[in-house]
């Protein structure tokens, strides 16, 4: 595989990842709308269902982030394996090359995990804490 092909595969992935991320953010908006609706008059069953829906969306968001990091690290490994000397590729390898075989993790990006934790707390607060 040539360097051009490695970059092309990464570009294709980034496009599909961006579309999936946009859909996930839309679903976060839907979850907040649902949380606000049940907060003002939902029964226990509806609150549980909205909570499960929110957890599913948060899981999807963490999955998107995990796939992003996995593909960035895999691209760095691929560029390293073909022995590129391109300065941009070398900077990419320095930024995302972990020195080992890339592995998927839901918690690969601490900043993103923190962001999803905040979203989780906001959603749970909207559903379960009474407004005074």
pLDDT tens string, the chain, 132 residues long: the values are: 899 999 999 999 999 999 999 999 999 999 999 999 998 888 999 999 999 999 999 999 999 999 999 999 999 999 999 999 999 999 999 999 977 899 999 999 999 999 999 999 999 999 999 876
Return d(Cα 15, Cα 21) in angstroms, integer: 10
Return d(Cα 28, Cα 40) in angstroms, integer: 19
Residue 95 makes CB contacts below 8 A (sequence gap 6+) with 76
Query: How many CB atoms sit inside 10 A of residue 76's CB?
Result: 22
Q: Do residues 127 and 45 touch, judged by C-beta distance below 8 A? A: no
């Amino acid at each position: 595989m040539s360097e051009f092909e490695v970059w092309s595969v990464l570009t294709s992935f980034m496009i599909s990842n961006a579309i999936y991320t946009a859909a996930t953010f839309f679903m976060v908006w839907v979850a907040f709308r649902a949380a606000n609706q049940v907060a003002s008059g939902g029964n226990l069953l509806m609150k549980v269902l909205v909570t499960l829906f929110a957890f599913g969306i948060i899981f999807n968001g963490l999955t998107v982030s995990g796939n992003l990091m996995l593909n960035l690290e895999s691209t760095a490994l691929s560029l390293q394996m073909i022995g590129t000397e391109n300065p941009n590729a070398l900077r990419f390898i320095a930024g995302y090359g972990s020195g080992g075989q890339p592995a998927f993790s839901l918690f690969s990006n601490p900043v993103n995990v923190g962001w999803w934790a905040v979203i989780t707390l906001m959603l749970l607060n909207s559903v379960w804490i009474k407004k005074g």
